[in-house]
């Protein structure tokens, strides 16, 4: 099975991956300094591309990495990449780094030649009917506002997941009991016709999460950001997760909260989310 399709895009120029040398001196490889985005391609079309580009652009400002590409120029390169690789359903990854190290890293980084790399990976055929089990615990690694960026240093999330091997993922809360997210998804809680996603300055502003917030009228529910505390989760009727690749993820249960799972509202949101995106990709 292919790990990465044979054509890649380097600073919007599509070329065979063999023509790209290994990034021995790249700041992203050496120091995890950079950003990434994971985008779903369906029927040869990238979903919510504008939103992913906007999030990367905001992160680039904070990391002081020049990002001067327009959405139209990126879409043109993505379209060429999809055509060259002859694909319909796949995962598109963007990686933005400062480029090669040109001086002592202890000195101020002067970024003259940033790297925007796009690669395409095979679609793993996720089953939307699969429900996952969540562990629940206080975060093991302190969260900061930098965690709102989708940086190349994703180690905290990987380790949080590894610390709960008996579950599919882990629902995390901070030392004050404020619910945050899981190691790979944003979380939503349902109470009647209202859906709440945790409000926090250390939670990743997920693309699927924001899509639901922006399109709550089409979803048929009030969807809001509010502070949610772990010891208050018993008041909610349902739970579900979101991320860009899997969309709406159904939950079978949460550790020590056996009655908190995905039910009719979550299933309804999942169906409406998939249907609404199907209109975009035609």
pLDDT of residue 278: 75
Say yes or no: 101 and 151 in one domain.
no
* Same-domain pairing of 177 and 103: no
| Torsion 117-110-150-272 (CA) sign | negative
Query: What CATH number should be reported for the domain holding residue 91?
Result: 3.30.470.10
Task: Identify whether residues 83 and 181 lie together within a single domain.
Answer: no
Packing angle of the helix pair 207-214, 49-63 (nearest 10 deg):
120
Q: Considering its fold, how many domains does the chain have in total? A: 2
- How much is the pLDDT for 110? 78
Same domain, 62 and 150: no
Range of the domain at 41: 7-122
Q: Which of 3, 278, 235 is nearest to 128 (CA)?
A: 278
First to last CA, the chain: 28
Burial string for 238-266 (b: 16+ CB within 10 Å, else e) reads bbbbbbbbbbbbbbebbbebeebbbeebb
User: Does residue 84 share a domain with residue 48?
Assistant: yes
3-state secondary structure of 20: coil
Task: Provide the phi-psi class of 43: left if phi over 0, else alpha when psi is between -120 and 50, else beta.
Answer: left
User: What CATH number does the domain containing 173 carry?
Assistant: 3.20.10.10
Write out the chain's pLDDT in tens, 282 residues: 568 999 999 999 999 999 998 889 999 999 999 999 999 999 999 999 999 999 999 999 999 999 999 999 999 999 999 999 999 999 999 999 999 987 776 677 778 899 999 999 999 998 989 999 999 999 999 999 999 999 999 999 999 999 999 999 999 999 999 999 999 999 999 999 999 999 999 999 999 999 999 999 999 999 999 999 999 999 999 999 999 999 999 999 999 998 999 999 999 999 999 998 875 554
Q: Are residues 255 and 152 in the same domain?
A: yes
Indicate the length of the chain as a whole number: 282
* 225 in any annotated domain: yes
Structural contact between residues 118 and 8, judged by C-beta atoms closer than 8 angstroms: yes
Secondary structure letter of residue 229 according to DSSP: B
Nearest CA-CA partner of 216 in 203, 225, 227: 225
Q: At what angle do helices 71-85 and 49-63 cross, to 10 degrees?
A: 120
Give a yes or no: residue 2 inside a domain.
no
List beta partners, residue 264.
Answer: none
Residues 187, 228 within the same domain:
yes
What per-residue confidence (pLDDT) applies to 106? 67
Three state DSSP letters for 37-100: EEEEEECCEECCHHHHHHHHHHHHHHHCCCCCCCHHHHHHHHHHHHHHHCCCCEEEEEEEECCE
Residue 189: inside a domain: yes
């Amino acid at each position: 099975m292919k790990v990465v399709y044979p054509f890649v895009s380097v600073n919007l120029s599509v070329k065979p991956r063999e023509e790209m040398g290994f990034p021995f001196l790249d700041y992203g490889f050496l120091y995890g300094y950079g950003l990434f985005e994971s985008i779903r391609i369906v029927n040869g079309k990238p979903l919510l591309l504008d939103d992913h580009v906007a999030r990367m652009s905001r992160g680039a400002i904070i990391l002081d990495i020049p990002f001067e590409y327009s959405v139209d120029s990126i879409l043109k390169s993505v379209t060429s990449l999809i055509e060259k690789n002859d694909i319909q359903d796949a995962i598109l990854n963007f990686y933005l780094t400062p480029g090669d190290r040109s001086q002592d890293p202890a000195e101020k980084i002067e970024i003259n030649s940033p790297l925007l790399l796009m690669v395409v990976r095979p679609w793993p055929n996720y089953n939307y009917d699969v429900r996952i089990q969540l562990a629940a615990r206080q975060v093991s690694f302190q969260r900061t506002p930098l965690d709102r960026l989708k940086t190349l240093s994703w180690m905290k999330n990987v380790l949080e997941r590894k610390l709960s091997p008996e579950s599919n993922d882990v629902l995390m809360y901070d030392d004050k009991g404020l619910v945050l997210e899981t190691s790979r998804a944003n979380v939503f809680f349902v109470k009647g016709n209202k859906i709440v996603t945790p409000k926090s300055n250390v939670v990743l502003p997920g693309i699927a999460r924001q899509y639901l917030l922006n399109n709550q009228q089409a979803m048929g529910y009030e969807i809001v950001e509010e502070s949610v505390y772990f010891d208050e989760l018993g008041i909610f009727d349902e739970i579900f997760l979101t991320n860009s690749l899997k969309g709406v993820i159904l939950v079978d249960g949460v550790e020590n909260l056996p009655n908190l799972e995905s039910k009719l509202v979550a299933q309804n949101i999942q169906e409406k989310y998939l249907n609404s995106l199907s209109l975009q990709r035609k």
